[in-house]
Chain A
Amino acid sequence: MLQSKSFVRKTKQGKVVKVVREHYLRDDIYCGASFCKVCDTNGARFVSPGSTILVVDTNVVLNQIDLLENTAIDDVVVLSVVLDEVKNKNLGVYNRLRALCSNSLRRFFVFSNEHHKDTYVKAMTGESPNDRNDRAIRVAAQWYQNHLGSATKILMITNDRENKRKATEEGISSETVESYVKSLGQPALLDLLVQPHTSEDMEIEDLRPSKKKVIYTEHKPMSEITTGMRCGFYHQGKLRVNRYNPFEAYVGSESIGDEIIIFGRENMNRAFDGDIVAVEVLTQDQWLNEKSLHIADEDDEEDDGVHLAPSSADDAPRIANSAQGSSENANNAPSRRSGRVVGIIKRNWHAYCGSLEPMAMPAGNAGIAHALFVSKDRRFPKIRIQTRQLGNLLDKRIIVAVDTWDCQSRYPSGHYVRTIGDIGDRETETEVVLIENDIDAKPFTSQVLACLPPLPWSVSSEDLSNPIRQDLRHLRIFSVDPPGCKDIDDALHCTSLPNGNFEVGVHIADVTNFVHPGTPLDNEATQRGTSTYLVERRIDMLPKPLTEDICSLRADVERLAFSVIWEMTSDAHVISTRYTKSVIKSCAALSYVEAQARMDDSRLLDPVTTDLRNMNMLAKIMRARRIERGAITLASAEVKFQVDTETHDPLDIGMYQIREANQMVEEFMLAANVSVAEQILKSFPQCSLLRRHPSPTKEMLEPLLRTAASVGLDLDVSSSKALADSLDRAVGEDPYFNKLIRILATRCMTQAVYFCSGELSPPEFHHYGLAAPLYTHFTSPIRRYADVIVHRLLAASLGIYKLPPIFQDRPQLTSIADNLNYRHRNAQMASRASIELHTIIFFRKRPTDTEARIVKIRANGFIVFVPKYGIEGPVYLTMRGEKGGGEWVVDEQQQKIRKIDGSISYGVLQTVQIHMEVVEPQPNRPKLQLTLI
């Protein structure tokens, strides 16, 4: 069985060490053709004997992965040598290739040629690794041809001329990607091809050197970068482009411990958002220079759209340079380093969503047109593409991938990947939102659906007789949710006990009873991480039968639940807490409005209403106590759409109203989460999943303090308690003032994050916003995967189930937590983007005049916040293009903008009347414009 041959391999790991590893060659690696007589056909992918089987080389995979993903390409052998090379060069492409290979609908087969006794090649003396790998590919192709016989054609795809020549010499048929795709006869596929920059092309361009101007400086070679970093000249970090100003980027550098600002595309030197770059810090006197330069050239293209009011510091525009906004103030030296990208260590190129810049149809040129692609996400530059179907694409949303960016071209060049749909169409735009936020909206696969219990499902007698499950059907349990909520994951009950205390229970849908660890259903949910709520649709984390029926704690049906039950005194002190799996039968599914109405209606004295009132009483005490501890009442400008059920068009839009009933339910959910957090951490100190909210730093609260100071408000931010108190004191003449300050405060804070308790020390577990030392998510397992994990932990801590093995693996748990944070954030971004989209649709037919608040002063106007619609956008005092807005003067200290003759002035937080209207400066690109009345 063991066909072994050990060999010597040499690698470099900083210093040169000789690494000796065994390398076993085998005779049980199969060819993957189901018609093969010799090989084991288990897991075979190639089914038709007469077809052409492709063997691709590494560069084809690296460059043409979009083409490979197209279903027109099939029957591909992926050699392990290719996989290894791809993995080393580009992990993103590797993952995509792996996904292709594991997709049972595609016929991609991994052939471990490196471990096959006949296809293993030993490097010859003087042969470079690349040459050896090319030879390995040729040997494998040859083996396939001999193995499968002449009935099947083996075609090696390579763009390497030398490799192709050698292949032909050795009698292997080979073709370049271009000629192969052409031979398929599908012209649309040609757009997917990455255009190779052939040498002839260069020569043509060299003929007219005057035309070619070097725009960007050449990237430094890697060796120079590494030495530079060792000497401290250069700094490594991830480039993040300002979402609101694509000409400004930040590189967080560990070697400096601070962020380096990079102004302008030229200094960014062809780096994309997310790239790992090497940065050179400019000298201090250059900082200002760069800054003013950037202001000068930014005016052409900077475009601040109207967008949804940000809800936390993570999605708020960066305000790094606002303090130095007035560059006349020469002695006000910028406090932050600015820099210049000298090299790119790792690219983060992927596919981008957007549309083509409008252009006239060119005549002739064999139907190939050059077009500029504009990404929807403004952080990315325009991308040049070649297309043969320009007419089709002009008014479409398309996906484009980037291939190269040389220093002579202003924009990177890329290629077309696929079309999503018409611009402006709601479904297309929604899909763009989903793609941009990496949300999987595909229907669940049959494997996932196979994990569901058979329908119609009802509580079985085994469930009832199960000793771990307590029968709570006799309790008066009800749920309170937003109107129209179908995925009800929490229900409550509250009974008075004879001793004057209350028994309060929070019952959460028992999702883990149906989602078992390691099943396809569980893996899918882990990947999705959370449900996403868009204005007109919901993208579920779990399949619909579970979400809306089996798990949903609907009224008048028996459901399985996981319950937290407290005994509380009448002043809301918890005497005892217990946790149990249960069977419940909810007696009413109320909406917040209904619950509120019942509590307010003093004539009603039915049991449910009494329970509601008792709970409300307890919740108020708990809330007061929580605020006493320093919890901050945050505010966000949430809006709610009324959507037409037929057309899905928004009918009305308004602030989301928060009632006492909402706060009551929230209070008990918080209490349940805290109790559960304590319980799981006690049992599993190393592998609990908790949620923390880091305290905001001084710098993060800076904009809030500046705004507050300008209106004569003094906020104490030394602790969450102090901040909460001073927020309470901040009451102006008008009723909305306090809310506005709270909204601004919320915006300065980062979001809470999930983490694995073994990764941090207990003081870091703190949740700043809730002023709780421990917090987790337990109460919404239908729509959040974190809660599913917490349910498993809680069940294990009660000894109901064993802890799944995944919890033993801390790195894996951490990676799950990171994924949850990522998905959670993306889901939020997507729902915001969806609201923005619908806001535009809503105002398209309804130009409106409304009241707005100034939240930030800028050089040429100010940013206003429209409370009624929860949106934020710029109002320009000087028109764009109109140079020298000398009429207006900005007063930084006071946060005021004044007309030079002093006749009009606007200050921050002031109320203004504005007009809102959707305009289309370019066809098919509607945007919301705000103008002062």
Chain B
Amino acid sequence: MEFVSPEGLRLDGRRPMEMRQLRAEIGTVSRADGSAVFEMGNTKVIAAVYGPREVQHRSQQQNDKALIRCEYTMANFSTGDRMRKPKGDRRSTEISLVIRQTMEACILTHLMPRSQIDIFVQVLQADGGTRSACINAATLALADAGIPMRDLVTSCSAGFLNSTPLLDLNYVEDSAGGPDVTVGILPKLDKVTLLQMDAKLPMDIFENVMQLATEGCKAVANYIREVLIENTKELENRRGL
């Protein structure tokens, strides 16, 4: 199948190095300590953060750092066919773990010993790249909750189809069976916190694809920073400063 036309356009009209449209909103769940909705094209994710709060199960309490918990779910209506997705299937367990580890790497957990932070992410609409969108949403929600972090974590995926590296795959491109490299970085520190791929790629091509995904992460980081600054300004206005 032709994913990139000879004119250099992808199926949805993007060029290979372009991302889908980003949109973010902070403070969407008022009960939560921090929350955000993050959209990458038609992929829409909501994240809510509770904490730092008292550890629910004493046995899990850690005396030197905070306990991070993460729960990833997909809404039943998130894909076209309304299938009842069993909770806690392998895929969501894995993604929960991935998000938790990525977040743990940037939260300054040692500042909040004997406490617990809960991150809930739910996919409202899935169109490829849910993993990345979840991480981006979680970052925003954590920032909104005021949890101390080393840096923002941002994530973006890239693939390799028709011998072309493609940024930010949508569902059609994702299900083409090619490699899908998901990268998460700390943009200011320039460190990688997440790198996943479930296919084989020659090293030199892989490096190109990963480079592209990293560029994507940086673009997401710029956007997220803008959103946060915007949000802070609004908060200032509300306080009448």
Instruction: List residues of chain A with CB under 8 Å of any chain B CB.
Output: 1-2, 4, 6, 17-26, 80, 98, 101-102, 110, 112, 114-115, 802-803, 805, 808
Query: In the complex, what residue of chain B is closest to A84 when comparing beta carbons?
Result: B5
- B202 to chain A: which residues have CB within 8 Å? 802-803, 805, 808
| In the complex, per-residue mask of B1-42: 1 if CB is within 8 Å of any chain A CB, else 0 | 000011101011110001111000000000000000000011
The answer to whether B41 touches A6, judged by C-beta atoms less than 8 angstroms apart, is yes
B172 at the interface (CB under 8 A from A): yes
The answer to whether A24 touches B205, judged by C-beta atoms less than 8 angstroms apart, is no
Can you report 13 residue pairs joining A to B where beta carbons are below 8 Å apart?
A2-B14, A17-B81, A19-B80, A20-B127, A22-B20, A22-B42, A22-B127, A24-B13, A26-B13, A98-B6, A802-B202, A808-B200, A808-B201
Bound-state CA distance A6–B39 (Å) is 13
Bound-state CA distance A540–B6 (Å) is 29
The answer to whether A22 touches B7, judged by C-beta atoms less than 8 angstroms apart, is no
The answer to whether A18 touches B18, judged by C-beta atoms less than 8 angstroms apart, is no
The answer to whether A23 touches B9, judged by C-beta atoms less than 8 angstroms apart, is no
Contact A102/B42 with A805-B163, A808-B201 known, Cβ cut-off 8 Å = no
6 nearest A-B pairs in the assembled complex, by CB-CB distance = A24-B13, A115-B13, A4-B21, A22-B12, A22-B41, A17-B80
Bound-state CA distance A22–B13 (Å) is 8
- B102 to chain A: which residues have CB within 8 Å? none
B170 at the interface (CB under 8 A from A): yes
- B5 to chain A: which residues have CB within 8 Å? 80, 110, 112
Contact A112/B80 with A24-B14, A808-B201 known, Cβ cut-off 8 Å = no
Bound-state CA distance A24–B18 (Å) is 11
Bound-state CA distance A115–B10 (Å) is 10
Query: In the complex, what residue of chain B is closest to A83 when comparing beta carbons?
Result: B5
Bound-state CA distance A128–B62 (Å) is 65
Bound-state CA distance A18–B80 (Å) is 7
CB distance from B229 to the nearest CB of A (A): 21
CB distance from B32 to the nearest CB of A (A): 28
Partner of A23, one of B6, B12, B172, B200: B12
| In the complex, per-residue mask of B152-186: 1 if CB is within 8 Å of any chain A CB, else 0 | 00000000000100000010100000000000000
- B41 to chain A: which residues have CB within 8 Å? 6, 22
The answer to whether B80 touches A22, judged by C-beta atoms less than 8 angstroms apart, is no
- B6 to chain A: which residues have CB within 8 Å? 98, 101-102, 110
- A98 to chain B: which residues have CB within 8 Å? 6
Bound-state CA distance A98–B5 (Å) is 10
| In the complex, per-residue mask of B80-121: 1 if CB is within 8 Å of any chain A CB, else 0 | 110000000000000000000000000000000000000000
Interface of chain B, main secondary structure: loop
The answer to whether A112 touches B18, judged by C-beta atoms less than 8 angstroms apart, is no
The answer to whether A2 touches B18, judged by C-beta atoms less than 8 angstroms apart, is yes
Bound-state CA distance A320–B6 (Å) is 47
- A25 to chain B: which residues have CB within 8 Å? 13
Bound-state CA distance A744–B25 (Å) is 78
Instruction: List residues of chain B with CB under 8 Å of any chain A CB.
Output: 5-7, 9, 11-14, 18-21, 41-42, 80-81, 127, 163, 170, 172, 200-202, 204-205
* Most B Cβ at <10 Å: residue of A24, A112, A115: A24
- B163 to chain A: which residues have CB within 8 Å? 805
Contact A110/B7 with A2-B21, A4-B21, A20-B42 known, Cβ cut-off 8 Å = yes
Known: A23-B12, A808-B202. 11 other contacts (CB 8 A): A2-B18, A20-B127, A24-B13, A24-B21, A110-B6, A112-B9, A112-B13, A115-B9, A115-B13, A805-B205, A808-B201
Query: In the complex, what residue of chain A is closest to B80 when comparing beta carbons?
Result: A17
Query: In the complex, what residue of chain A is closest to B201 when comparing beta carbons?
Result: A808
CB distance from A45 to the nearest CB of B (A): 12
Bound-state CA distance A24–B12 (Å) is 6
- B170 to chain A: which residues have CB within 8 Å? 21-22
- A26 to chain B: which residues have CB within 8 Å? 13
Bound-state CA distance A21–B172 (Å) is 9
- A19 to chain B: which residues have CB within 8 Å? 80
- B205 to chain A: which residues have CB within 8 Å? 805
CB distance from B74 to the nearest CB of A (A): 16
- A21 to chain B: which residues have CB within 8 Å? 11-12, 42, 170, 172
Bound-state CA distance A808–B161 (Å) is 12
- A802 to chain B: which residues have CB within 8 Å? 202, 204
- A808 to chain B: which residues have CB within 8 Å? 200-202
Bound-state CA distance A17–B82 (Å) is 11
Query: In the complex, what residue of chain B is closest to A809 when comparing beta carbons?
Result: B163
Bound-state CA distance A19–B79 (Å) is 10
Query: In the complex, what residue of chain B is closest to A87 when comparing beta carbons?
Result: B2
Partner of A114, one of B13, B200, B204: B13
CB distance from B203 to the nearest CB of A (A): 8
Bound-state CA distance A110–B7 (Å) is 7
Query: In the complex, what residue of chain A is closest to B20 when comparing beta carbons?
Result: A22
Bound-state CA distance A805–B18 (Å) is 24
Bound-state CA distance A102–B7 (Å) is 10
* Most B Cβ at <10 Å: residue of A19, A22, A112, A803: A22
Bound-state CA distance A23–B172 (Å) is 13
The answer to whether A1 touches B18, judged by C-beta atoms less than 8 angstroms apart, is yes
Bound-state CA distance A1–B204 (Å) is 29
Bound-state CA distance A266–B207 (Å) is 61
CB distance from A608 to the nearest CB of B (A): 45
Bound-state CA distance A26–B15 (Å) is 10
- B12 to chain A: which residues have CB within 8 Å? 21-24
